Amino acid sequence: MNELTLEKFEEASEIVTRVTNPTKLIKSDYLSQQTGAKVYLKPENMQHTGAYKLRGAYYKISTLSEEERAKGLITASAGNHAQGVAYAAKAYGCKATIVMPTVTPLIKVNRTKSYGAEVILHGDVYDDACEYAYKLAEEHGYTFVHPFDDLDVATGQGTIAMEIIQELPTVDYILAPIGGGGLITGVSTLAKMLNPKIKVIGVEPAGAASMTAALKAGEVVELDSANTIADGTAVKAVGHQNLPYVRENVDEVLLVEDDELIGAFLDIVENHKMIVENSGLLSVAALKQLDCKGKKVVCILSGGNMDVITMSSIVQHGLIQRDRIFSVSVLLPDKPGELQRVASVIAEQKGNIIKLEHNQFVSTNRNAAVELRITMEAFGTEHKHKILAALEENGLKPKTISAKLY
């Protein structure tokens, strides 16, 4: 347990400042009110490459010899480490080859290429890409830069804890996402070195809980699948070098369902005007599980690389999830004025109709009924119920149906 040292963390903290943006803590009044704690955000989504991964990649490459760098670098990544290695390799003037899963968001692929790296798409998840990257490294003699199972990389990621404690010395809790374990290893180890009283909480997506499985088994285990919208943490097996540090320094690992990440995305967009990817929101979503009233809590927002199509889908699902968009079906006689009657009831309740579908063929007896499907905006669940009650009072017998915006 002596590979990660305070001296190395201090060295890394100086070195990474060459390429990182200062990500000062942001006080979140909204999350503070929700939890009764003083909640701060560490916005690593504001880094040059859109994620914290630049720290570990750059520090790791700084420790390599000229000969190792001259061979060319290779890594596998779901996106953020890819950009970190590509950016750092460019800074050091060496070649980089990145293997990424075929499902990697386009924005991450394009940005990785923009830093001068060669990108190869292979496999469905990170683990498939990693296996192929090792194969290429062996064939071509490239120097492999592992995204998380490397203590130099973890040291670079741990510089986040140094900055948090320098800015907020009295922090009580630090929450960090877990994928392969590099971030939580560095952050938890340095935090405990500087102040053993700080509680460090790791957060995993429930659909890819590889660290939870490893802690339970007492060794690294490989999951059958890593199925989650938090693609940056979709890892089937955590790093072997990380597990002992996590067991020693992490106080608790929490699991978050994908639906909770959708709500967290809306919270951060609406209250902080920031785009944070699903993996980066694990720490925010986990706040609901934590009793931290009266404490100072820092949530690490690990990245913000989300493509526009994914963003659009998340927003739509979030609005539906919170009853700010919903759909109803009503049956009406097929005669003039009925559509206006329905619209008037909704307007009186300040609902906003955004989509109408009028189906005259729902019944063979059109005088008896035609179906009207209405999708509308509301202020939330309470307002939705008021609109439904008003429709009911007017004899319209609304039936709630699945909302679709397309």
| Helix/strand number for the chain, H first, E second | 16, 14
- Read off the amino acid at residue 272: H
Query: Is 236 an active-site residue?
Result: no
CA distances 294 to 37, 171, 267, 290, Å, are 5, 11, 21, 12
The one catalytic residue in 28, 279, 283, 302 is 302
Q: Where are any strands of DSSP class E within 178-245? A: 199-205
Q: List Cβ neighbours of 65 (8 Å cut-off, separation of 6 or more).
A: none
> Catalytic: 302?
yes
Structure tokens at 52: 């914290």
Query: Residue 280: what residue type?
Result: G
Provide the angle, in degrees to the nearest 10, between the axes of the packed helices 106-114 and 80-92: 0
Does residue 200 contact residue 250 with C-beta atoms inside 8 Å?
yes
Distance in angstroms (rounded) separating the CA atoms of residues 64 and 61:
5
Q: Please, are residues 102 and 82 in contact by the beta-carbon 8 Å criterion?
A: no
Q: Which of 53, 192, 296, 384 is catalytic?
A: 53
Distance CA 384, CA 324 (A): 8
Nearest CA-CA partner of 259 in 278, 234, 272: 278
In the block, residue with structure tokens 């009266």: 294
- Which SS3 state, helix, strand or coil, does residue 172 take? coil
In sequence order, the β-bridge partners of residue 353 are 376
SS3 assignment, position 245: helix
Q: Which residues are catalytic?
A: 53, 302
